[in-house]
Chain A
Amino acid sequence: MSDQDLDALMARYGAGDESAFDALYRLLSPRLYAFCLRLTRRRTEADDLFQETFLKLHRSRATYQPRAAAIHWAFAVARSVYLDRLRFQRRRPEAVVETEEGLATFTSLPGIEGSPEEHARARQLMTIVDRVLRDLPENQRAAYVLLREEGLSVAEAAAVLGATPTAVKLRAFRAYEAIRGALQAAGITLPEER
């Protein structure tokens, strides 16, 4: 199924068709959950964010614009929920306990073929990317994930993030440079960002 199918399902769901939910969840959840993991950096937080995002999507489904890409709208809602949570945490810092447990990781490698050395190298690369992304400011992380991992255009990412295209490019560039620097320190070379 394509993004157009997803948009059509979201439009049906927005119009009140409850039967569209199962297919919508099946199509939307992998990318949306991945985005939540990237935003929150922790599995339990990602679960909560994912659940709350779906609830918000459900609650405000009538406001979905049929011309919008459903996945972009879902990303924008997820980020809005995440920023609300950040604001809450800033107001009540005692409610947040930072531990190393439950850190989200993207290091499963079902699609990679090759020698054990290549496999190990890819795993090392992804571990470094994970670590650098976790430590980046939220706006750089979100810009990088939308452009590099989700494949959105700069204009699409700018619409999702509510920022100017120039700001999005700059944030993603800074994230890319941070990742490149960390990989270089580990002996892995990435091409220069254009």
Chain B
Amino acid sequence: MTPLHPPPPPDALRERIRASMAETQPSGMSPSARALTSAAMVLAIVVGAIALIRPDLAQLPQAALLTVTFGVGLLAVSTLIVALAPGSKGLGASVTLLVAFAMSTAPIYAVVTMIAALGASPSIVPARNCFSMSMGFAAVVLTGLTWALRRSVPAAPIARGALLGACAGAWAGLVIHLHCPSGDRLHILVGHAIPVAIFAVLGAILSPRFLRP
């Protein structure tokens, strides 16, 4: 097909842009500052998890405890890496990868923590307590991650927001897993796993407006 020759931008536009730019302060975080902020947040979460650690850890089967903790930790770290990855084109991970991780985080978390439910079988803690605590932790993490990535996601901001939400839920899930002594599967589902799913949806709804340039 014949190459097209679009008209050039009018010269007056350049002056208008120059004038507008003089009134606009650059903002947003550099990629390295973003990585540092996220690392600081992870450190805060780990410190929080240690501070809130359940008292009966020593009595639990250690192999199962380590396996579940490693699985949940791996899930949290991998979602964070994919959410922050610059991608091969510098515009973030592919939308397929973002959506796959965002949609699978909550089910994987639920399966890992419910199959090897650790602790006393009757629920000694109301599920609403864990639910509220998970939601609170996840809200802090999602706010921090969205702030770190603000104005830097021009492509697929909804998918990225969903993954940030799932990631926040997974980190909150790691804390709650190390904190809550209940081994009741219904409790784990309602108090620990459902907040992960809720935050994936909340991230998709709330984060994009802050993520777009």
Contact = CB atoms under 8 A, between A and B. Distances in A.
A76 interface: yes
Q: Label chain B's interface by main secondary structure.
A: loop
A96 interface: no
Contacts of B95: 158, 162-164
Contacts of B212: 80, 84
Interface in B70-100: 86-92, 94-96
A20 interface: no
Contact of B17 (A16, A51, A155, A163): A51
Q: Label chain A's interface by main secondary structure.
A: helix
Given A60-B213, A125-B2, A126-B4, A29 B9 contact: yes
Interface stretch (B47-55, B127-135, B152-160): B152-160
Interface stretch (B25-33, B105-113, B136-144, B184-192): B25-33
Interface string A161-185: 1111000000000000000000000
Given A68-B89, A111-B5, A76 B13 contact: no
A126 B5 CA distance: 10
A25 interface: yes
B8 A72 contact: no
Contacts of B156: 162-163
Interface string B135-178: 00000000000000001101111010000000000000000000
A155 B89 CA distance: 9
Contacts of B6: 30, 33-34, 37, 106, 108
Nearest to B149: A63
Given A29-B9, A63-B152, A159-B89, A55 B17 contact: yes
Q: Identify the 7 closest CB pairs spanning chains A and B, nearest first.
A: A68-B90, A162-B156, A63-B152, A162-B155, A34-B6, A76-B154, A159-B89
